[in-house]
């Protein structure tokens, strides 16, 4: 691929990789727990590995993505260990081991690092807060639900969910509102606060709406196809990816809209907003499809055990994803033209969050095979882009 300027949407291999997605992901892909984060480490003198800033080899694969606070990077692995590392070097600041627990997610609160885990074979979850500086547990409580891997956030609050309920965690991490939604659903695949209302999307693509007091204010059942787990809200519309393509619900008229009609006038093939979500428009023609994605990784392609997030740097004008052979591919986000690629490894777990880096420096990638944290310079990759 090196040296050739190939339109990513005319390339058959890439078509398979980017074909049919969500906003949150997209038609034939499924979100996954592998995660990616863009931030501020920079290429140091003496770096010689084609943009590699540092790599940290791990005994066990990452399980809960990466979070950043101040100069520290946090992640967890499948053995139940939680790590704090320096972002510039990858050197360990502290490590804490949870015994016989599956860590479902980590997130940043004002009080410290929030961690939700589950004891092996338990039906409920455990929520803890660890201090940022030393990793000391400063709060612990049981949650009466089997919390799923993904979460959303709104105005500093963290929103997590199980198949039949949700928990809203305050910005400081210390106040929790536990919601039993079992009388409405036992098949919740996504739960979020959009436009002042709470929405739950079931695995069969049914959408339910609740007011701030969690009273039901409507449901929408007309969509067909299996919901892949990723959905996005923008300007009064909910975009969800299903096994039958992108579905759009207008939350004002409470009616479905056509993806083809909604996107047919797009001037660019790749569109991104400030939340690292976006729409990919393929070439016009019969059977035209639109790919929806956000900051969660998705299956590449259907049937594969490989997952990838879509990364975007607005400053550098590039987008990136990891293909099924373990190469990170950099493309021009305005034209889709190939820029650069490098082998880094595979992601084999879903639902890892991807924060955006608007200053465009580097990206931290948790890899399953080989198990490592990989710090890579997007700025270096962008420097390989041919002049327009």
Identify the pLDDT of residue 112. Answer: 97
Residues 28, 34: Cα–Cα separation, whole Å: 17
- pLDDT averaged per 10 residues in sequence order, the chain, 388 residues: 28 28 29 35 54 92 90 94 93 96 94 96 96 97 91 85 95 95 92 92 93 93 81 80 80 84 46 44 46 55 68 78 85 79 89 58 88 90 76
Identify the pLDDT of residue 350. Answer: 77
Sheet holding 255-257, edge to edge: 227-234, 237-242, 245-250, 255-257
- CB atoms near residue 252 (< 10 Å): 10
Identify the pLDDT of residue 82. Answer: 98
Residue 3 located in a structural domain: no
From the centroid of its chain, how far is CA 195? 20
CATH number for the domain spanning 268: value is: 2.130.10.10
From the centroid of its chain, how far is CA 216? 28
Query: Residue 364: which region, alpha, beta or left (left: phi > 0; alpha: psi -120 to 50)?
Result: beta
Identify the pLDDT of residue 296. Answer: 56
Nearest to 212 by CA among 201, 197, 191, 190: 197
Identify the pLDDT of residue 300. Answer: 60
Nearest to 98 by CA among 75, 82, 116: 82
Bridge pairing between strands 362-367 and 157-161: unpaired
For 163, residues 6+ apart whose C-beta sits below 8 A from its C-beta are 146, 148, 185, 186, 187, 188
Residue 132 located in a structural domain: yes
How many structural domains compose the chain?
1
Q: SS3 of 190, please?
A: strand
List the domain range (segments joined by +) for residue 215: 12-382
What are the angstrom distances between the C-alpha of 60 and each of 33, 37, 88, 117, 126?
15, 19, 22, 17, 22
Residue 7 located in a structural domain: no
DSSP secondary structure code for residue 337 in this structure: B
Contact 57, 371 (CB under 8 A): yes
Residue 209 located in a structural domain: yes
Identify the pLDDT of residue 226. Answer: 85
Residue 388 located in a structural domain: no
CA triple 119-181-244, angle to 5 deg: 90
């Amino acid at each position: 691929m090196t040296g050739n300027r190939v339109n990513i949407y005319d390339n058959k291999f890439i078509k398979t990789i980017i074909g049919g997605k969500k906003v949150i992901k997209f038609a034939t892909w499924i979100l996954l727990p592998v995660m990616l984060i863009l931030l501020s480490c920079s290429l140091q003198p003496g770096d010689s590995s084609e943009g590699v800033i540092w790599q940290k080899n791990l005994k066990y694969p990452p399980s809960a993505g990466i979070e950043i606070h101040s100069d520290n990077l946090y992640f967890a692995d499948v053995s139940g260990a939680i790590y704090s590392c320096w972002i510039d070097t990858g050197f360990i600041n502290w490590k804490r081991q949870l015994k016989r627990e599956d860590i479902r997610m980590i997130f940043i609160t004002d009080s410290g690092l929030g961690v939700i885990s589950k004891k092996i074979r338990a039906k409920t979850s455990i929520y803890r807060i660890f201090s940022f500086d030393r990793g000391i547990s400063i709060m612990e409580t049981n949650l009466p639900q089997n919390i799923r891997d993904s979460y959303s956030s709104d105005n500093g609050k963290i929103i997590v969910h199980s198949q039949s309920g949700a928990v809203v965690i305050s910005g400081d991490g210390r106040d929790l509102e536990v919601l039993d939604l079992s009388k409405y659903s036992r098949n919740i695949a996504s739960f979020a606060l959009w436009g002042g209302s709470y929405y739950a999307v079931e695995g069969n693509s049914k959408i339910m709406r609740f007011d701030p007091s969690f009273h039901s204010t409507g449901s929408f059942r007309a969509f067909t196809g299996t919901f892949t787990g990723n959905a996005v809200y923008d300007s009064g519309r909910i975009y969800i990816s299903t096994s039958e393509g992108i579905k759009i619900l207008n939350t004002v008229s409470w009616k479905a809209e056509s993806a083809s009609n909604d996107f047919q006038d797009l001037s660019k093939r790749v569109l991104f907003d400030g939340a690292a979500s976006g729409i990919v428009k393929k070439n016009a023609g019969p059977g035209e499809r639109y790919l929806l994605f956000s900051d969660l990784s998705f299956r590449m392609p259907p049937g594969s055990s490989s997952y990838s997030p879509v990364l975007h740097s607005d400053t550098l004008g590039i987008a990136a994803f990891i293909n099924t052979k373990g190469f990170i591919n950099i493309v021009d986000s305005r034209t889709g033209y190939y820029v650069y690629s490098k082998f880094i490894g595979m992601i084999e777990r879903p639902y890892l969050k991807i924060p955006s880096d608007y200053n465009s420096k580097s990206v931290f990638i948790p890899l399953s095979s080989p198990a490592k944290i990989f710090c890579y310079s997007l700025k270096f990759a962008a420097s390989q882009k041919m002049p327009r």
